[in-house]
């Protein structure tokens, strides 16, 4: 009989398995997304995202306290404004919902690392990520508004700017504006590789940010393209991005891996709303073991190359990693 390798030797018990384990998920890997709304007394669950809530500012601290207690080091804030207009003015208002939320959170928990998502789709009445003329999303005209938005977020105290709009040149526009305003030490996490994905559906319900006409395929990437992701990543790094993101995560683990091999900056994966909703729905029906599935998915993203993971599962995963049920 041909001799064969005994791979099972190193799988015999948990002691040896844990000693040879290549990747470890920890609570420090997580960035937890939080939705803030105007008004008061609001803590309202997003129907397609069980366990995820809209918070008004007066209820926000409860949520943030929980995040901090569980050992999650960072949050990313998404604002859902009451009023919208054609050019997303509420995105850069000094007293905009996100600007207020950032100030409040930084005051309450100075060491919680607060990221700001820089985009216009929640703030425009047409729901696109840039300004629109004659049915088209204009690139260069959108850049100054995005830059202004990023500066207003930095001024409110955001630790990191995470632009997700997918206009060309947004990183350089934002970098220059931040530098000019004196925020040269505020890093940029670019959503460099963002696909035009059906997995964003629940987020758009939550953020009220569905495009009112057309879709996002003239600026977000074609899911069929892999090499193009490397071009997007390279140009964003060239423009001054400090870290890169791949979004969504699950259907794009190969892209995470390719970026990891090519670029030496920290890499984030966004485990998006539709991925969360699928797991929650199947778990609710009793068809999968939620804890097992979530920890496996998140570990898979780390193995694929993610240094950090934006995930709505963060609080649950942190609990499980901390040994609670």
Two tokens at 270?
A: 């966004």
190 part of the interface to ligand PBG, by CB under 6 A: no
| Sign of the alpha-carbon torsion through 168, 172, 173, 175 | positive
Candidate ranges 104-112, 114-122, 142-150, 229-237; the one touching ligand PBG (CB under 6 A): 114-122
Q: Could you say which of 216, 260, 302, 313 contacts ligand PBG (CB under 6 A)?
A: 216
Give the C-alpha separation, 72 to 70, whole Å.
6
Instruction: State in Å, rounded, how far the first CA of the chain is from the last one.
Output: 48
* String of DSSP letters for 213-278: SS-STTTSBPTT-SHHHHHHHHHHHHHT-SEEEEESSGGGHHHHHHHHHH--S-EEEEE-HHHHHH
Q: How many residues bind ligand PBG (CB under 6 A)?
A: 12
Q: How far is the CB of 61 from ligand PBG (least distance, A)?
A: 23
272 part of the interface to ligand PBG, by CB under 6 A: yes
Q: Which of 203, 208, 187, 206 is nearest to 88 (CA)?
A: 208
Q: Could you say which of 43, 106, 204, 319 contacts ligand PBG (CB under 6 A)?
A: 204
Q: Could you say which of 164, 186, 190, 299 contacts ligand PBG (CB under 6 A)?
A: 164
143 part of the interface to ligand PBG, by CB under 6 A: no
208 part of the interface to ligand PBG, by CB under 6 A: no
188 SS3 class: strand
Beta-ladder partners of 55: 36, 43
30 part of the interface to ligand PBG, by CB under 6 A: no
On whether the CB atoms of residues 96 and 152 are closer than 8 A, the answer is: yes
For ligand PBG, give the closer residue by CB, 23 or 225.
Answer: 225
* 194 is known as an active-site residue: yes
Binding mask 241-260 for ligand PBG (x = CB under 6 A): --------------------
For ligand PBG, give the closer residue by CB, 79 or 305.
Answer: 79
Catalytic residue among 84, 247, 302, 315: 247
* 302 is known as an active-site residue: no
Window 117 to 136, contacts with ligand PBG (CB under 6 A):
117, 119, 121, 129
Phi, psi of 153 (to 5 degrees): -70, -40
Count other C-beta atoms under 10 Å from residue 129's C-beta.
28
Residue numbers annotated as active site: 194, 247
Residues that bind ligand PBG (CB under 6 A): 117, 119, 121, 129, 164, 200, 203-204, 209, 216, 272-273
């Amino acid at each position: 009989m041909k001799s064969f390798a005994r791979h099972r030797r190193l799988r015999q018990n948990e002691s040896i398995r844990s000693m040879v384990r290549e990747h470890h998920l920890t609570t420090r890997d997580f960035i937890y997304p939080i939705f803030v709304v105007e008004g008061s007394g609001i803590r309202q669950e997003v129907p397609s995202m069980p366990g995820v809530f809209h918070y008004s500012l007066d209820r926000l601290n409860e949520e943030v306290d929980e995040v901090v207690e569980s050992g999650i080091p960072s949050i990313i804030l998404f604002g859902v404004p009451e009023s919208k207009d054609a050019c997303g003015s509420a995105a850069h208002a000094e007293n905009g919902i996100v600007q207020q939320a950032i100030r409040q959170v930084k005051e309450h928990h100075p060491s919680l690392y607060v990221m700001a998502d820089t985009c216009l789709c929640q703030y425009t009445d047409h729901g696109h990520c840039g300004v629109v003329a004659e049915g088209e999303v204009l690139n260069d005209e959108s850049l100054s508004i995005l830059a202004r938005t990023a500066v207003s977020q930095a001024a409110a105290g955001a630790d990191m700017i995470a632009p997700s709009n997918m206009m060309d040149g947004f990183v350089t526009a934002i970098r220059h504006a931040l530098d000019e305003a004196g925020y040269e030490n505020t890093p940029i996490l670019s959503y460099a590789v963002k696909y035009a994905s059906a997995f964003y559906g629940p987020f758009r319900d939550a953020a009220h940010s569905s495009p009112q006409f057309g879709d996002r395929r003239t600026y977000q990437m074609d899911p069929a393209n892999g090499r193009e992701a490397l071009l997007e990543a390279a140009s964003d790094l060239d423009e001054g991005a400090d870290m890169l993101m791949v979004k969504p995560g699950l259907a794009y683990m190969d892209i995470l891996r390719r970026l990891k091999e090519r670029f030496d900056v920290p890499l984030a994966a966004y485990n998006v709303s539709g991925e969360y909703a699928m797991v929650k729905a199947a778990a609710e029906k009793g068809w999968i073991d939620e804890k097992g599935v979530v920890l496996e998915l998140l570990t898979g993203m780390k193995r694929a190359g993610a240094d950090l993971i934006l995930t709505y599962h963060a609080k649950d995963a942190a609990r499980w990693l901390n040994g609670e049920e």
